[in-house]
């Protein structure tokens, strides 16, 4: 299990509503305090140690590494995603980007 730890306390309802409004208006939002700060550096080191060079010479995390999807398990991130990406709220071509992982609609690939 990766060392990255999550802030378990949920966002206050008005804070979550404001974050969702920003996401819908801009297509992105910066989420504060999703991860416990004292675990981020160790997780970063784990990711760097797990990166491999593929056959095309690009560096990437192997598909079987937990670090690839571990940040998506953060309760605060999941709370926002469930509100932003519910069928009633989705807009075409929604994508989420972070330097170590990427989610896109299959039509964009």
Per-position pLDDT tens, the chain of length 109: 899 999 999 999 999 999 999 988 998 899 999 999 999 999 999 999 999 998 999 999 898 999 999 999 999 999 998 887 766 555 555 555 554 544 444 554 4
Whole-angstrom CA distances from 51 to 11, 57, 100, 102, 106 are 32, 12, 10, 15, 24
Residue 5 maps to a domain: no
Q: What is the pLDDT of residue 104?
A: 46
Residue 4 maps to a domain: no
Residue 7 maps to a domain: no
Residue 2 maps to a domain: no
Strand locations in the chain, DSSP E?
52-53, 59-60, 96-98, 101-103
Whole-angstrom CA distances from 47 to 10, 14, 25, 79, 109 are 26, 34, 32, 24, 24
Question: For residue 49, what are the domain limits?
Answer: 13-108
Closest CA relative to residue 80, chosen from 11, 7, 33, 8: 11
**Residues in CB range of 33: below 8 A, 6 or more apart:** 7, 76
Q: What is the pLDDT of residue 109?
A: 46
Q: How many CB atoms lie within 10 A of CB 30?
A: 8
Domain count, the chain: 1
Q: What is the pLDDT of residue 75?
A: 95
Pair of tokens at residue 27: 């297509």
Q: What is the pLDDT of residue 95?
A: 54
Q: What is the pLDDT of residue 76?
A: 94
Residue 6 maps to a domain: no
């Amino acid at each position: 299990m990766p060392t990255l730890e999550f802030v378990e306390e949920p966002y206050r309802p008005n804070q979550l509503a404001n974050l969702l409004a920003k996401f819908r208006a801009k297509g992105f939002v910066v989420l504060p305090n999703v991860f416990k700060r004292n675990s981020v550096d160790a997780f970063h080191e784990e990711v760097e140690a797990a990166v491999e060079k593929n056959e095309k010479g690009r560096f990437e995390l192997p598909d079987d590494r937990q670090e690839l999807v571990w940040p998506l398990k953060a309760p605060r991130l999941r709370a926002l995603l469930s509100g932003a990406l519910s069928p009633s709220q989705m807009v075409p071509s929604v994508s989420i980007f972070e330097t170590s992982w990427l989610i896109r609609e299959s039509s964009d690939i």
